Amino acid sequence: MSTRSNENWLADLQSTGIPHEEALNDLRDVIQKGLPYALSRWLSSDDPLFQPLVEEVTQETLLRVLDQLKTFEGRSLFTTWVHKIAIRIALTELRRKRWRDASLDELTENEDAPPPPGLLADPQASPETSAERKDMLERVRRILQEELTPKQREALTLLGLQDMPMEDAAKKMKTNRNALYKLLHDARLRLKKRLSMEDLTPQDLLSAFEQK
């Protein structure tokens, strides 16, 4: 793996073709090598859950870094900045594992179905909270159907909700890892723009299901 300056990282990740792919592969290695030590306080590397978590956090970190490249101010090493993002994502995933029981299909295929159990932090929620959740789910279904292509919805289902490893998801969709990252990146941008137009944030969506 080549040694890059902050400027080189930014230039390569913002480029296309081979430099972009090599930078993504190198950054993936950087993230995966640093996570065992960083997470040792909360999860042993011998734990069966550790490797799936590392893969999940790695792919989410790469997407987040691509989204936020313009916010990097150069006050630290680029890789240090990336590690901090990875750790925040990892700790969030550890807290939110209950969400992994939810299926995007359940949200989009049957609009009359009740919310999936995995999305309900409290099954005894108040009528007001339940109504808010139902309204939020209806809005999410509509946004997903209107904004995302079938391929983008499939990628989100496989990687974001079913925890399928990146390599397996790429094979299933007959593509490669970096093309899949690009697919997810584009989907996230489209969703972010649409949520903003509807005065919603990802935090609004999460909070709707975390209220007591």
CATH number for 58 = 1.10.1740.10
Average pLDDT of span 11-32: 91
Does a structural domain hold residue 152?
A: yes
Cα–Cα distances (Å) from 66 to 60, 62, 75, 161, in that order, read 10, 6, 18, 21
Q: What pLDDT score does 114 carry?
A: 41
Count Cα neighbours of 141 within 13 Å in the Cβ-side half-sphere.
18
* pLDDT band, very low/low/confident/very high, at 154 (cuts 50, 70, 90): confident
Mean pLDDT of the chain: 76
Q: What pLDDT score does 209 carry?
A: 46
Which pair of tokens denotes residue 112? 């009359």
* pLDDT band, very low/low/confident/very high, at 119 (cuts 50, 70, 90): very low
CA distance 4 to 27: 10
Q: What pLDDT score does 101 carry?
A: 41
> Do 168 and 82 have their domain in common?
no
Q: What pLDDT score does 26 carry?
A: 93
Which pair of tokens denotes residue 148? 């995302």
What are the E-state strand segments in 72-212? none
Residue 143 predicted with pLDDT over 50: yes
Does a structural domain hold residue 147?
A: yes
* pLDDT band, very low/low/confident/very high, at 103 (cuts 50, 70, 90): very low
> Do 62 and 14 have their domain in common?
yes
CA distance 47 to 115: 31
* pLDDT band, very low/low/confident/very high, at 106 (cuts 50, 70, 90): very low
Does a structural domain hold residue 178?
A: yes
Which range is least confidently modeled, 69-78, 135-144, 151-160?
A: 135-144
Does a structural domain hold residue 1?
A: no
Q: What pLDDT score does 144 carry?
A: 77
Q: Is 39 in contact with 87 (CB distance < 8 Å)?
A: yes
Instruction: State which residues form the domain around 57.
Output: 6-95
Residue 141 predicted with pLDDT over 50: yes
pLDDT greater at residue 209 or residue 81: 81
* pLDDT band, very low/low/confident/very high, at 55 (cuts 50, 70, 90): confident
Q: What pLDDT score does 27 carry?
A: 93
pLDDT in tens, 157-196: 777 666 677 788 888 899 888 888 888 888 888 877 887 7
Instruction: Say how many domains are in the chain.
Output: 2
